[in-house]
């Protein structure tokens, strides 16, 4: 029920914003804020009611619901929440709220339509995290794209229409391959058992011909790899993240990338254990390469948003490593990494957005010495920069160290390459701080430092990141039973 309720809140909130936006341009942001705050508090209440450690008799699922939808194909409206879904849904709603704050003063035109798109993207994401029917999953997977396309194309900066099309084509192309992969699996299951179903649990353990299974798995892998992104399929990301409005970047980096990781963890490996194991050497290589590649390219950027975008590629490399190492330690690390990266990347994008609003440029060369002029903004910027480089005490450190430990056990080479990537992270993060906030101050007057709204939002995010680094146990507790229930990840 929780998932359906959240979906209803977000979808109807979006429609309400649209209708209200035609009368009053300021009303939609309040509607979006209330809808997201309501949804988030509902989910937090749901979390607080679940027993600690989740030693439930019914397995890892905190809640499940299944209604017939298209019986012709054995498609059901099947939703479920386990620890993994719950953590990522919480992250999505939290960052959605932050995206509203980030767009508060930036979005002035067509506000109703903007918040419609924002809330509907989030509805798609919540659906992706909760769907346990492959058709339903695919539906939400596609559903979150269109509003995101509009956010980038209509409210973005510069040549954003092109970036939006690129984003859409990459993800939609991946989506169609995902559909083909799902259909091969479902029809293979039908041929073997005579039972046509898209149910996740029924399809787990389908014995397909290994060669066919590999192709089907590849379809799913490509779809998720585009989203994550895996290096070689990442080229849509820097453009889309850089040219999107701040709220859009927050959602892209903070949440949408996580759907790719979620797809890998929830669907790819459990549905195709053998076929994905065959892909593991390549995928581990790509993961390690991504960590290095993203780090090196991030260092080469002078545009702050591009820098953060490339750093996302680097951080998501750790997640890919963890997925294909596929043991409990690495996967737990991946979950922490997802949350931590979501928050720090979103924070950095918000800071970049604020810099653009004030300086009308994102070129770090044109900055320098901002600490004196914008002390609060710069301090928060430093905080998120050191969080992203994995300073102990922040969530990213916990995530990376767990992933590296987990990966090292079975794949020492990949882990060693990845460790060198951590060094590049430190270099670009510190270089960013150095270029933008330190140095001689430029001749600028009348810069407005962060007011209470921005300080509160970013301070809250920093607190969550710090909390995750100092006491990650609640997240680990929540994730452990969910991950342990995945085949082969119990150890």
Partner 1 sequence: MSRVQLIALLPIIVAAAIPVVLILAIAARRSSRLVLALTLIGFAVVLATLTPAARVAPMQVTPLLEIDGLALFFIALVASSGAATVLFAAGDQGASQVGETEEVDAEREVGDTQGRDTDERKPEEHYVLLSLAVLGAMVLGASRHFAALFLSLELLSLSLFPLIAYRRRQPQALEAGIKYLVLSGVATGLLLFGMALLYAGIGSLELAAIGRALAASGAPGSIWILGGVTLVIAGLAMKLSLVPLHWWTPDVYQGAPTAVTGFLASVAKGAVIVVLLRLLVASDAHRQAPVMAVLAILAVLSMLTGNLLALLQDNVKRILAYSSIAHMGYLLVALLAAGELAAEAVGFYLVAYFVSTLGAFGAVALKGPGGDNITAFRGLYRRRPWLAASFALMLLSLAGIPVTAGFVGKFYLFAVGVNAALWIPVAVLVGASMIGLFYYLRIIFTLYTPPEHNVAAVPVAATGATALATLTLALIWLGAWPAPVIGLIQSALGGAF
CA distances from 179 to 115, 225, 266, 276 (A): 29, 15, 16, 18
Binding of partner 1 by 233 (CB under 8 A): no
The count of chain residues that interact with partner 1, using the rule CB under 8 A, is 33
Burial of 471 (0-12, 13-18, 19+ CB in 10 A): exposed
As measured in angstroms, the least distance from the Cβ of 370 to partner 1 is 34
- Of 460, 387, 472, 397, give the one whose Cα is nearest residue 94: 460
Binding of partner 1 by 135 (CB under 8 A): yes
Binding of partner 1 by 114 (CB under 8 A): no
Binding of partner 1 by 146 (CB under 8 A): yes
Q: From the list 47, 113, 349, 371, which residue makes contact with partner 1 (rule: CB under 8 A)?
A: 113
Q: How far apart are CA 83 and CA 43, in angstroms?
A: 12
Interaction residues for partner 1, span 183-202 (CB under 8 A): 183-184, 187
Strand partners, 81: 63
As measured in angstroms, the least distance from the Cβ of 69 to partner 1 is 7
Binding of partner 1 by 414 (CB under 8 A): no
Binding of partner 1 by 8 (CB under 8 A): no
Binding mask 295-334 for partner 1 (x = CB under 8 A): ----------------------------------------
Binding of partner 1 by 179 (CB under 8 A): yes
Q: From the list 20, 36, 143, 275, which residue makes contact with partner 1 (rule: CB under 8 A)?
A: 143
- Helix-helix angle 328-359:304-325, to 10 degrees: 170
As measured in angstroms, the least distance from the Cβ of 138 to partner 1 is 8
CA 115: distance to chain centroid?
19
Please state whether beta strands 63-70 and 75-81 pair in parallel, antiparallel, or not at all (unpaired): antiparallel
Nearer to partner 1, 11 or 351 (CB): 11
Output DSSP code: residue 266. Answer: I
Binding segment (CB under 8 A) for partner 1, from list 85-93, 141-149, 257-265, 313-321? 141-149
Burial of 443 (0-12, 13-18, 19+ CB in 10 A): exposed
Nearer to partner 1, 275 or 351 (CB): 275
Interaction residues for partner 1, span 49-68 (CB under 8 A): 68
Q: Which helix (H) or strand (E) holds 215?
A: helix 210-227
Nearer to partner 1, 216 or 339 (CB): 216
Strand partners, 67: 77
Binding of partner 1 by 180 (CB under 8 A): yes
Q: Phi and psi of 41, rounded to 5°?
A: -70, -35
Nearer to partner 1, 139 or 379 (CB): 139
49: which 2 tokens?
Answer: 């009611």
CA 92: distance to chain centroid?
8
As measured in angstroms, the least distance from the Cβ of 186 to partner 1 is 8
Binding of partner 1 by 150 (CB under 8 A): yes
Per-position DSSP letters for 281-305, written without gaps between them: HHHHHHHHHHHHHHHHHHHH--BHH
**Which residues bind to partner 1, rule: CB under 8 A?**
22, 68-73, 110, 113, 135, 139-140, 142-143, 145-146, 149-150, 153-154, 161, 165, 168-169, 172-173, 176-177, 179-180, 183-184, 187
């Amino acid at each position: 029920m929780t998932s359906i309720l959240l979906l209803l809140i977000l979808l109807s909130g979006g429609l309400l914003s649209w209708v209200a936006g035609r009368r009053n341009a300021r009303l939609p942001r309040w509607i979006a804020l209330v809808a997201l705050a309501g949804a988030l508090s509902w989910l937090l209440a749901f979390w607080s009611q679940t027993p600690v450690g989740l030693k439930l008799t019914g397995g890892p699922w905190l809640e499940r619901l299944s209604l017939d939808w298209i019986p012709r194909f054995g498609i059901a409206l099947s939703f479920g929440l386990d620890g993994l879904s719950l953590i990522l849904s919480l992250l999505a709603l939290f960052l959605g709220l932050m995206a509203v704050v980030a767009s508060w003063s930036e979005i002035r035109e067509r506000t109703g339509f903007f918040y419609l798109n924002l809330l509907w993207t989030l509805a798609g994401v919540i659906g992706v995290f909760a769907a346990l029917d492959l058709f339903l999953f695919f539906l939400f997977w596609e559903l979150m794209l269109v509003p995101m396309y509009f956010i980038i194309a209509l409210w973005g900066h510069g040549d954003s229409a092109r970036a939006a099309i690129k984003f859409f084509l990459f993800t939609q192309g991946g989506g169609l391959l995902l559909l083909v992969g799902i259909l091969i699996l479902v029809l293979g299951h039908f041929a073997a058992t005579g039972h046509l179903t898209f149910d996740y649990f029924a399809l787990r353990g389908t014995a397909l011909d290994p060669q066919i299974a590999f192709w089907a798995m590849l379809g799913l892998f490509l779809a998720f790899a585009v989203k994550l992104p895996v290096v070689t399929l990442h080229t849509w990301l820097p453009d889309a993240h850089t040219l999107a409005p701040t709220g859009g970047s927050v959602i892209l980096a903070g949440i949408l990338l996580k759907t790719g990781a979620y797809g890998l963890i929830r669907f790819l490996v459990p549905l195709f254990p053998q076929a994905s194991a065959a892909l593991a050497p390549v995928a581990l290589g790509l993961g390690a390469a991504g960590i290095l590649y993203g780090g090196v390219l991030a260092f080469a950027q002078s545009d702050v948003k591009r820098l953060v975008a490339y750093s996302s590629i680097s951080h998501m490399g750790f997640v890919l490593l963890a997925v294909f190492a596929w043991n409990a330690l690495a996967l737990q690390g991946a979950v922490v990494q997802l949350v931590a990266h979501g928050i720090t990347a979103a924070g950095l994008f918000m800071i970049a957005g604020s810099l653009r609003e004030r300086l009308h440029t994102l070129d770090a060369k044109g900055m320098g010495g901002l600490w004196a002029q914008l002390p609060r903004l710069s301090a928060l910027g430093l905080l998120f920069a050191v969080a992203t480089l994995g300073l102990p005490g922040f969530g990213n450190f916990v995530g990376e160290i767990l992933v590296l430990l987990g990966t090292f056990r079975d794949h020492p080479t990949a882990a060693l390459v990845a460790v060198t990537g951590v060094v590049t992270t430190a270099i670009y993060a510190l270089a960013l701080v150095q270029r933008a906030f330190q140095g001689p101050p430029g001749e600028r007057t009348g810069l407005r430092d962060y007011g209470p709204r921005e300080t509160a939002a970013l301070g809250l995010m920093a607190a969550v990141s710090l909390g995750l680094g100092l006491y990650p146990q609640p997240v680990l507790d929540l994730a452990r039973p969910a991950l342990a229930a995945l085949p082969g990840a119990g150890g």
